[in-house]
Structure 1
Amino acid sequence: MSVMLTGGSGFLGSHLSKYLRSIGTPVYTPIRGSGLRNPHQSDFFLEDLSELTTAMLADMKISVFIHCAGVAHEKSNAAEIYNEVNTKLTKLLAERCVQAGVKRFIFISSVGVNGCSNNYPFEARDLAAPYDAYTESKYKAERHLRNVSQGTSMDFVIIRPPLIYGPNAPGNFLKLVQLAKSPIPKPIGSIINKRSFVSVDNLSDFISLCMTHPSAGNETFLISDGCDLSTSEFLIKISKTLGKPPLLMPFPVPILKGIACLIGKQDIVEKLNVNLTVDIKKNKELLGWVPKVSVDDALKSALKQK
């Protein structure tokens, strides 16, 4: 089995390629010229993923295509960029995979396709509710993938992760790490919510299983560590792993929201306060998968160089 992985120079892709190679899986990774300092012998250079042709896929005898590449957090022309990269490029690659005889296309989407918050854990069978340009672009890509693969010999697997954390993780996890390091008291001790997280180790293990499991074909999965935590609980775990005092201060949430509104930070407080959890029982019942790495162990691995 030969695997092609996009996004190999990104956070998830770099960890996933290392994991797959560690278990003996041949992985081809298209990267830009400056994407990696020490490219693997099976990495190859492309200026743009649209240059990945059907002939190239066929010549490499790719049987599984894992699409991790994408863009997020764009500030200018966001909707246009999301549509071009997350939606149209996914459709183009799926079409070429079908033509090249690829057997399975694994697409890394986003839990945001299900919505931005919930009172009960999201399930994979729930109706989609994308809420911004980014999540809409991911949902459109999912629909294109289903349509392109229908009636062909290629099946698909869609995986919607929540916040992914691990060594050198960017984005919101990095912000939480920076907050944990800060010596300033944090007025979020009264926030009581529940959120799902997934370590890059557990996600890589799950993707590996989805590459070959016959029951994974044409299915959508949500993924997490199976241990939902409040924002405060997660920050406390990060702080303890770093050897720092959490310094969480109880503060009435309505007043905190009011102050945040006055200084233009209401979005940040809202994100800290809402619930966003997922149900992963489908993963266990259909694929026999359970998370192998605990949150505490995953944080030790993620923060050992911090």
Structure 2
Amino acid sequence: MKIIVTGASGFVGQNLSHYLSENSHKVDSISLRNSTWKGSLAGDVIIHLAGKAHDTKKTSDTSEYFKINTDLTKDLFDAFLQSEVQDFIYFSSVKAVADEVSNVLNEEVVGNPITPYGKSKLLAEEYILSKEIPMNKRVFIIRPCMIHGPGNKGNLNLLYSVVKKGIPYPLAAFENKRSFLGIDNLNYMIKEILENRNIASGIYNFADDDVVSTNDLVKIISLTLKRNNRSISIPKPIINGIAKIGDIINFPLNSETIQKLTENYMVSNEKIKSAIGIEKLPVSAEQGLQKTIKSFISK
């Protein structure tokens, strides 16, 4: 099977391309930076990973999200419809649906993103879903939650640094539940979609089976680093008061940081597991996180 990958130089692109190549698929990367790719889509599948990632520092021009995440996706999808390529796999994001989750996020939730990133991803999804798909083609919209793996610290970097430096984690009084996605499980689910023509077109959330609290994550990091878990339960009113001060004086422990570390964001993966025909993914959330953290230590 010949697979065309956009965004192959990114973390997911590199890992997925290597994994698919190891499993006897031919991978061909293309760049969307200029129009030379048009008219040359010769393959069986397009996996569209290229995009502008969410800028947590909020320094990006808003229009860039829509130029890259929305408009380029529209162009590529139109070219796919006119080509002989059979499958189109678009990597969107759970953030195309919701920035905050009160219960469990499934594929039926109506999208209501707040950030330009989320809005640009949702607009691309809506465009794809608005088109009539030929009978011989399949189209998948993948919504991964926070992806991690060896070589990609992502949002784990802050907690990893705190534990490594021996700084007590001060938010143990907050108990939350978050979904993560290890790169090994991501690779596995994509491979299953590619190789099983019985899996129908549609929107699929990608997440590990188990949710993990930030407190559990600190424990996992501590155990992997062979450090004592130095978490402390400072009363929530005191933490919230410190956060308000942090908002004013630009202190690291501010309202935004606390929200990111303590919010709930649970994502259901039942639809994709049912489509594949499995009860559990190959790698548990804890195993995946341990593998990622061990990769930090070796650097």
Q: CA deviation at 1:91?
A: 0.8
Q: CA deviation at 1:171?
A: 2.5
Q: Distance in 2 between matches of 1:221 and 1:71?
A: 21
Q: State the AA in 2 paired with 1:12.
A: V
Q: Distance in 2 between matches of 1:57 and 1:213?
A: 22
Q: Distance in 1 between matches of 2:281 and 2:142?
A: 15
2:3 is matched with which residue? Answer: 3
1:52 is matched with which residue? Answer: 37
Q: Distance in 2 between matches of 1:185 and 1:272?
A: 14
The 3-state SS of whatever aligns with 1:86 is: helix
Deviations 1:180-200 (A, max 9, x none): 312111211111011111101
Q: How does 1:193-212 map to 2 (within 5 A)?
A: 193-212=176-195
When the two structures are superposed, what TM-score results if normalisation uses the length of structure 1? 0.87
Q: State the AA in 1 paired with 2:41.
A: L
Deviations 1:223-246 (A, max 9, x none): 211111111111221221122233
Q: CA deviation at 1:250?
A: 0.6
Q: Distance in 2 between matches of 1:11 and 1:108?
A: 13
Q: State the AA in 2 paired with 1:217.
A: A
**Cα pair distance change 1:4/1:128, threshold 3 Å:** same
**Relative to structure 2, which stretch is displaced further, 245-254 or 220-229?**
245-254
CA RMSD of aligned residues (A): 1.9
Moved beyond 4 Å, runs of 4+: none
Match of 2:294 among 276, 281, 304: 304
Q: State the AA in 1 paired with 2:268.
A: D
Match of 1:138 among 111, 121, 137: 121
Indicate yes or no: 2:54 matched with 1:73. Answer: yes
1:43 is matched with which residue? Answer: none
Q: Distance in 1 between matches of 2:96 and 2:54?
A: 15
1:214 is matched with which residue? Answer: 197
Q: CA deviation at 1:263?
A: 0.9
Match of 2:76 among 77, 80, 93: 93
Q: How does 1:157-172 map to 2 (within 5 A)?
A: 157-172=140-155
Q: Which runs of 5+ in 1 are unaligned?
A: 31-45
**Cα pair distance change 1:149/1:77, threshold 3 Å:** farther
Q: Which runs of 5+ in 2 are unaligned?
A: 248-253
Q: Distance in 2 between matches of 1:294 and 1:236?
A: 16
1:186 is matched with which residue? Answer: 169
Q: State the AA in 1 paired with 2:267.
A: V
**Cα pair distance change 1:95/1:57, threshold 3 Å:** same
Identical aligned residues as a percent: 31
Q: Distance in 2 between matches of 1:192 and 1:47?
A: 43
